[in-house]
């Protein structure tokens, strides 16, 4: 398990007690699971060789960003939305505990899904192309799910994407100041959001994952399984193109192939024009701001992930600002 300031380290006694209390079974063993950098995750084996996943939110004393508060509730919410509105394979939720009486942080128990993350799979070029097309198709499916308010459920919804994104960026800038740092790029991003208010107000309101990297999609015997949707929000669907094609540092104009694949199955087609380029650049700048600020609360300055976030954020800001200016 990756070392991070936010991760809760549960004891086997705590885990066993939680499973007994929820009537799931007697725990035979547990091991840390996954490469995430925020929540803790454990593979828990019960009698009968049945495996489960236990996810635990950061401990109460951990410093987290504004949008990350109550994010575990958000993950459960998005799993249930996917079950309700799509045929995407994702885990069943068996128990949710927000009492913090046994494990001293919010947690939930879910189905253990088989498979390997896409980035670990040794695909042929043809297989990789097919799998990535299926992944893009998964985004088209969640973008059919609509809402009339924008933003994070856990930090307040707004009547337009402009208002929501401005608030989301503003909260991160304030988080940065509250922990003793300044972000000139974050301030510039807010000015550019205001410059493009008219464009952002036109953005549709859809279910957005914003985190569908290959680490969050499992491949199991030809099937794709979606995990870890906790960073989802109601907002502009073009934001989800960050995780496809050439990645978060490339402009939308470099993702024509991915847009074509998306439009094969999407109910609402994605057009490549100046407005969508601006909206996409705003999403990239927002991710840059997240990476810039989160490094201060998660890592020491000499940690490789601190350095990674610094470099990635700079590259994303530069690309996005060039489009937005």
Q: Is the pLDDT of residue 86 over 70?
A: yes
CATH number of the domain residue 217 falls in: 3.90.1200.10
| pLDDT tens digit sequence for 185-209 | 999 999 999 999 999 999 999 999 9
Q: How many CB atoms lie within 10 A of CB 309?
A: 21
Report the percentage of the chain scoring pLDDT > 70: 97
> Concatenated DSSP letters for 222-247?
TEEEE---TT-EEE-GGGGGGGSTT-
Average pLDDT over residues 266-285: 97
Average pLDDT over residues 41-60: 92
Question: What pLDDT is attached to residue 1?
Answer: 41
**Number of domain units in the chain:** 2
CATH number of the domain residue 54 falls in: 3.30.200.20
| pLDDT tens digit sequence for 156-168 | 999 999 999 999 9
Task: Specify the DSSP class assigned to residue 43.
Answer: E
| pLDDT tens digit sequence for 225-268 | 999 999 999 999 999 999 999 999 999 999 999 999 999 999 99
Report the percentage of the chain scoring pLDDT > 90: 89
**Does 6 fall in a domain?**
no
| pLDDT tens digit sequence for 239-250 | 999 999 999 999
Q: Same domain for 37 and 89?
A: yes
- What range defines the domain where residue 38 resides? 12-111
Q: Same domain for 153 and 247?
A: yes
Q: Is the pLDDT of residue 84 over 70?
A: yes
Q: Is the pLDDT of residue 33 over 90?
A: no
**Does 264 fall in a domain?**
yes
Q: Same domain for 184 and 314?
A: yes
Q: Same domain for 185 and 236?
A: yes
To the question of pTM greater than 0.85 for the whole model, the response is: yes
Reported as a pLDDT band with limits 50, 70 and 90, residue 36 is low
Q: Between the CA of residue 182 and those of 185, 194, 208, 292, 313, what are the distances in Å?
A: 9, 20, 29, 10, 15
Q: Is the pLDDT of residue 37 over 80?
A: no
Q: Is the pLDDT of residue 2 over 60?
A: no
Q: Is the pLDDT of residue 115 over 80?
A: yes
């Amino acid at each position: 398990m990756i070392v991070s300031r936010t991760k809760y380290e549960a004891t086997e006694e705590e885990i066993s007690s939680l499973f007994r209390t929820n009537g799931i079974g007697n725990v035979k063993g547990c091991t840390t699971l996954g490469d995430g950098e925020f929540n803790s995750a454990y593979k828990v084996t019960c009698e009968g060789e049945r495996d489960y996943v236990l996810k635990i939110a950061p401990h109460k004393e951990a410093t987290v960003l504004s949008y990350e508060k109550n994010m575990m509730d958000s993950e459960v919410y998005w799993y249930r939305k996917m079950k309700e509105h799509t045929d995407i394979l994702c885990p069943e939720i068996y128990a949710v505990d927000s009492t913090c009486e046994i494990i001293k942080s919010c947690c939930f128990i879910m189905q253990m899904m088989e498979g390997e993350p896409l980035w670990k799979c040794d695909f042929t070029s043809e297989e990789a192309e097919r799998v990535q097309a299926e992944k893009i198709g998964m985004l088209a499916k969640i973008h059919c799910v609509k809402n009339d308010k924008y933003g994070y459920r856990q930090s307040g919804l707004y009547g337009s994407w402009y208002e929501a994104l401005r608030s989301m960026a503003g909260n991160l800038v304030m988080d940065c100041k509250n922990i003793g740092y300044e972000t000139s790029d974050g301030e510039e991003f807010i000015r550019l959001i205001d410059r493009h208010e008219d464009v952002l107000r036109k953005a549709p309101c859809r279910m957005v994952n914003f985190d569908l990297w290959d680490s969050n999609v499992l491949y199991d015997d030809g099937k794709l399984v979606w995990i870890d949707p906790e960073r989802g929000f109601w907002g502009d669907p073009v934001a989800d193109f960050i995780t496809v094609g050439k990645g978060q540092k490339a402009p939308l104009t470099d993702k024509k192939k991915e847009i074509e694949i998306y439009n094969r199955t999407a109910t609402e087609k994605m057009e490549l024009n100046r407005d969508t380029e601006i909206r996409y650049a705003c999403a990239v700048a927002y991710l840059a701001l997240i990476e810039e600020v989160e490094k201060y609360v998660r890592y020491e300055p000499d940690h490789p992930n601190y350095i990674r976030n610094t470099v990635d954020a700079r590259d994303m800001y530069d690309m996005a600002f060039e489009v937005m200016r």
